[in-house]
Structure 1
Amino acid sequence: MVFSLTLFNPGRPIVNTPLGPITHEGVRSFLLLLGKAFLSSGATVVIVNSVGFSRILAEMEALKFSNIITLTLAFTYRYLDVFIGEAMRMKRALDSRAFGIGRLEYYRKLGALIGEVFVRAYMRSERVYWAMLSRGFGEFPKVDEGAILYFAPYCPHLGGTAPMIELRNVHFSYGGREVLRGVSLKIERGEVFGFLGPNGAGKSTLLFHLNGILKPKRGEVLVEGLNPAKTRKKLGGRLAYQQFLRTWPLVPTTSASGEKSSGSGFSGP
């Protein structure tokens, strides 16, 4: 659309239109810009497919690109498939319910659905932000391709003899749906503890309580004897947990057993 404006550049007219004469020079400029755009897009696709998007982002970081730019590109690339899938599901729902209506009405409803896609994308971005915050996300991850990340985070001891994590009769619900009911447990320092259950069982909700993002309706959550919801500043960067996402493009894909062994390599007090 923007390129089409060059068709009306001053020069020798070819044909007159209500918007003005289309000129030889305008057609030449239009074809030149269109060719450059096509070649640039083609080169971008070839480079990304050959080198890998994660390597492109790493090189941008090495060239001192703004952290906001690299993160925006990373998450745009990561959630592009999710965005397209959401749009396709909504269009499929429209097609299944909109048979027999006129073409104009169909496209009017389709336009409304496109707006709804952006609303859903905004709502999902809030959940993604919560997930990032709960994992102590702070900067662009630097992971070499073909390698699995192993590290031992620095976790200074706050002192005291209280259990590392303690839940006392924790209850929580989303609206009228009860998710956690009377959860009580103690995890001592150095223990390895796993939460198992199907989707919707409340695993993530429970973890959000451990770093203070969510507060229990009843009961108490303590980390080294402190309430994480009230003492996030004192606990600082200690409040984070790690989850391996096999669909995350910046971390190499591993098998389930590899992810399990990677998790066992994390250590800290």
Structure 2
Amino acid sequence: MFNRILLSVAVAIVTTVTAFAQPKLEVIGGDTYDWGKVKPPKEGYLEATIQMKNTGDKAVRITEVRPGCGCTKTDPDKYDLKPGEVSTMKVKLNISPTQSGSLTKSITLSWADLAGNDALKAFRSSGTAVPSGADTNIRTGYLYLKADVQREISFMPSTYFSFNDLKIGVEATSKIEFVNNSDSDVTLSDWKTEGGLVVNHTGRVVVKAKGKLDIVGKIVPSAKGNYSGGVKFKTTHPDNAEVDLRAYGFVQEPSSPVFQNGSVKP
């Protein structure tokens, strides 16, 4: 279970505050939700229920819940909380098809004193003076989402061949590493390429348990513009029965300065 850890507080709007007590918002269970070691979810994401509690002695308002890249959230069921009240929301941690290993994302939480926030809104909308001593500060904390995604088969650095600075008639090479993290040998077979891509394997190849295999792709471009190709093959691993590795690049004009004796024309 998670330790109860008070969200770290940062002042976002600086005003004069004379109130003795500060509004407090705490994530029940702590500011980090960790799924631990998990297999890649079929849904493409991990989901959890998060509860936020007003642990102070003043009413608070949740002013913003902003997810970072790679995670989503639903709106809290309550934004205004009396002391002791709890707001609940769902969060999702998106797992890409190639994601493997440790992953950490964050959600920004902002809150304010309810009365002070109402006074600030009234000032901004109608010019009503903010009462002396009103706490109009916005406080900010962070909720961290963590997971360690365990894939038995992974591809490094990605699931596609990346070709840079392609030139017509000049061979280019790119490599993908097939990683077998499982406890059993995996056999690769039935290789089929497209787009003029040539790979260094054509028959049955056995990748030992905990072993790796370099898949090297080569092309000789014959026309300018965007290039796309790829290779498909089968494996004996149930999670990756068929694999499709794409290949991308851009072939520049033969007259481009990069082809002129290796230097750029003035």
Whether TM-score is above 0.5 comes out as no
Q: TM-score, normalised by structure 1?
A: 0.23
More helix by share: 1
Q: TM-score, normalised by structure 2?
A: 0.23
More strand by share: 2
